[in-house]
Structure 1
């Protein structure tokens, strides 16, 4: 019989079982067992692997790595579940992840060591990445224990940051340079400044009797804000059903006048914040929104950041951060005296009215005011409204000039400021009512914004003084207005002379002839029919006055507002 192949290699082309006869004292050969042994030996020699899944790593290092990976994903529940105290850890990690609000977190495990007594130690380097400009890195150490459920990281708040107290967390906050910029007027005096305010918020989900809370809140506010009635509060609630509303925002001095703390009303909370407000409390203006937007852009550009450690009974502790320099003051063309008189004029009528004053030479905006009716309607400087008959003398002169000089009508309208769109930093604010001017020489369907009409008034005033060119209105000194849809430019006397004559006639013997206390007035007056709107564009005393009103007899209303303005100036 042939003996076994000593290399366990196949000896022929056909598969066969090599049987080996082994003789021991007094025993017989057990062929089946020997054959199986030989096959297994040869299989091992050919490198065949056992098809059994590898045993997962259940050691300390694997648990610590899983803990770090869950942290890096900012998964508070998963991170906490890998600790010895998931409840406490979950609270701290949840608060930290939310308060840090990091774009990305890198957690690197360093020096993991497992000991024979069922414990382990490790350190972590954690980098919180907020944006391209800044990040925060810390190094912490921790331990782990082998429990019946496997390896767990021993919970200690210090694993998040050294010295973090129980119930504490890290947070990243924005910081603003001090002092905050102010908004100054034409004279250099403070026009607007940052002031602590109190937002009085009513949340309908936090009171059992909403009607009772609304009435109680109105009663509490009555000494300082009598216009915030129960009806007004209910109207605000109806506009956003089920959502909290801000009934009013009060300064600290206002709060001292109240007989009752609004926060004592069920469902009411007082949120303390900072707001850019008028230095003179008698003033209000549609310019506030645009100026606040510009001021806020400066604050954003100079803002800093800070990572803090906070906890029960612990003053916030700065861990890292940077702060930019204070921003410059916002210098405007607003005249506070003019602004006050505009406000008094706007409330002369019981229908929507907005009034704007500009320097007749430069186009600088001296002030803008409107009454509550106009504010509620959302009327603004950028929206395009029907002009009706107001521009009839202008459009007739444009048509004649275009034929005489072989220029396009659009070019002439643009140079007058009527065919373009203005974006005025500090005055223009994004609104759903914004629109582009449209002009039709053959009908009364033309639409203009108040800034278009203002540019026209300034162009006419400048032409009368010999400056034969148009300029864009502006409100922030040194910050140009963006002009789109065409170009301003030089004006021709053949165009401006008949318009100026028409404005003189309107003031002397036309619709504006009843206005008093306005020597040298030149004006355009018109409506878009009995239901308005109504317009007034006047040049007087080195100023251009633009008035826009809505509602029945709005042309008369515009003249009433103009008369009140001239009477008090």
Structure 2
């Protein structure tokens, strides 16, 4: 065998290196492989699953992974860029892909991955590999963004600082009609199992819930851990029934039920959302999620309210005194702080809210009469009513917002009272204004529920009260309590009251000032005025 000289060997090696280098660098920015890679990056940036997957060698597999990842990441923007493309003589090419995922609040996650491109009969296509999304991601894997909440969760506290509502473990008992061969048998068995702790969740109630869910998986009831121990049977042994363990903001004292819970839960959730952290994970079947980036959420502050728990219990007992819809609220007569709110099931079914306006009827006749005697112009009458809290809209943080229901508007001092509407918050503000004036105060105040979160007032302004007007209102309220419709009420020292209805079918109102508190009762249906007095009397007996 003839040996080549070292000079010949060097020449051949150098030639080969130059040839490879020329081939490798032949893929410029405008080459076909580069265009294919850039098209894929543009589709990624547009979060266009169909377009991106069609540019790969395995469109169906790519569509599944990309679809799950885009859905799981729910990014505000995706910015994918091809940083480099190298073409080889064997009909392949490689590229580097940088993908930046962005969310609000300057949250970002960036990957830099390597990909390859193949020339097929249909043209250049990106070799599909889940690792294009994150280096090392296996088949079946995906990226996902989750929120992280600090522990412990904020507690909603009463005026005394005690826990009023707090996060507790609960069990969501679900029934899936598609997972049982005999749905009615499962429904009946579930209702029987729940009867010892939730007798109101009957088979009919469960069937109605399934119908509302269009036959899909349905939440039958949510129970605390201690409740699960007294069930008549294990729900998970019933065909089609599963138990999902989760956490929920619930009343610390299970005896308490209040419409304020909805608004307080919304406020609590807003605090949780504002303090939540985030985490990008790589998830794959059979593997624990892998943390890739993120920040832990910081603990949210406890929510300090003005609620008095003993007051709330008394309000709850008073609300169930009558069968027709009844709702009751109490306020601190000096500050306007909401002390509590309760309603019976009939009122709850009707979604009666504190900040929805209802007809006032004759209830405010003494107020209108007093303003008419002291206001000489329309503007003066309007101002005096607003300064008493009427005709205004109160957006109270922690109180569920109404769904487009306006409060009463002021047209003139002598307009027809039966056309006027007011919210329970309006009536409470009126009572507080009168009580403050009797106590030497000069300005009215807005009701509030969460300490440090002021109420937004629209539709006019609160302010200095007309002394003569307030004295006339207070005198009329004293007469009503002493010899009028509220004269039978006992246990309310120094009571001053407004009582009225909007005709035979109601609604009926009671507004009372006694013992440093303002009480507002709202009832609906026939004899609602009498019902409001019954609820008020029950409250004063309890307190």
TM-score (norm. length: structure 1):
0.83
Classify the secondary structure of the residue corresponding to 1:135. Answer: strand
Partner of residue 525, structure 1 = 499
Partner of residue 93, structure 2 = 120
Classify the secondary structure of the residue corresponding to 2:449. Answer: coil
CA shift, 1:282, in A, is 1.1
Give the Cα–Cα distance (whole angstroms) in 1 for the partners of residues 336 and 344 of structure 2: 23
Partner of residue 342, structure 1 = 315
> Is 1:224 matched up with 2:208?
no
Between 317-326 and 388-397, the greater mean CA deviation after superposition: 317-326
> Is 1:328 matched up with 2:328?
no
> Is 1:556 matched up with 2:524?
no
> Is 1:250 matched up with 2:223?
yes
CA displacement, residues 499-556 of structure 1 (integer Å, 9 cap, x when unaligned): 2222222222222122222222221111122211111111111111110001111111
TM-score (norm. length: structure 2):
0.87
Partner of residue 173, structure 1 = 146
CA contact (8 A) 1:105 1:128 kept: yes
Partner of residue 512, structure 2 = 538
Q: Where do 1:292-371 residues align within 5 Å?
A: 292-371=265-344
Partner of residue 156, structure 1 = 129
CA contact (8 A) 1:356 1:545 kept: yes
CA contact (8 A) 2:436 2:444 kept: yes
Classify the secondary structure of the residue corresponding to 2:362. Answer: coil
Give the Cα–Cα distance (whole angstroms) in 2 for the partners of residues 162 and 258 of structure 1: 50
Q: 1:427 aligns with which of 399, 410, 420?
A: 399
Q: Where do 1:93-492 residues align within 5 Å?
A: 93-131=66-104, 133-146=106-119, 151-202=124-175, 210-239=183-212, 241-242=214-215, 245-262=218-235, 265=238, 268-403=241-376, 408-437=380-409, 441-492=415-466
Structure 1 gaps, min length 5 = 1-56
Between 532-541 and 205-214, the greater mean CA deviation after superposition: 205-214
Classify the secondary structure of the residue corresponding to 1:257. Answer: coil
CA displacement, residues 82-125 of structure 1 (integer Å, 9 cap, x when unaligned): 44444433322221121112233222223322333444332211
Partner of residue 505, structure 1 = 479
CA displacement, residues 48-87 of structure 1 (integer Å, 9 cap, x when unaligned): xxxxxxxxx9954444344334333333344334444444
CA contact (8 A) 1:378 1:433 kept: no
Structure 2 gaps, min length 5 = 1-29
Compared with structure 1, are the counterparts of its residues 499 and 131 closer, same or farther at alpha carbon in structure 2 (3 Å cutoff)?
closer
CA contact (8 A) 2:362 2:417 kept: no
Give the Cα–Cα distance (whole angstroms) in 1 for the partners of residues 35 and 427 of structure 2: 73
> Is 1:91 matched up with 2:64?
yes
CA shift, 1:333, in A, is 0.6
Between 173-182 and 445-454, the greater mean CA deviation after superposition: 173-182
Between 103-112 and 512-521, the greater mean CA deviation after superposition: 103-112
Bigger radius of gyration: 1
Compared with structure 1, are the counterparts of its residues 414 and 216 closer, same or farther at alpha carbon in structure 2 (3 Å cutoff)?
same
